[in-house]
A = this chain, B = another copy of it.
Amino acid sequence: MVQQADLDRTFAALADPTRRTMLERLGRGSATVSELAEPLGISLTGVKKHLHVLEEAGLVSTEKVGRSRHCRLGTERLDDAMAWIGFYQRLWERRLDGLDTWFTLQKGTDR
């Protein structure tokens, strides 16, 4: 069963362009916090805050290796988020179908 709190955390984590960029970067391979920070042009503290949000959502996992922290994509595959959006899209299509039927019925009445 989908946990609502998990979906909340997932969607909230994705609702930020910096965090999405970080995920795209980690999708190409693991990186240290400094390597993540550099192209983004933001402070290490800023990156760490975003990492915390991503870790809480299971989208990133980090590991302390010596003096640096290594980051990689976490275990979250976003299946539940994908399923929810798919469900919404089916509702949306059905609404359009409904409108279509309504217009067809109206046309029939107009004749």
Contacts and interface: CB of A to CB of B under 8 A. Distances in A.
A73 B89 contact: no
Contact of A91 (B14, B16, B24): B24
A14 B17 contact: no
How many copies of this chain does one complex carry? Answer: 2
Chain A, interface size: which category? Answer: 20 to 34
Interface string A21-58: 00110011100000000000000000000000000000
Given A7-B20, A84-B14, A84-B20, A95 B73 contact: yes
A50 to B, nearest CB: 13
> 6 closest A-B pairs (Cβ-Cβ)?
A27-B91, A11-B15, A12-B15, A11-B14, A4-B17, A11-B11
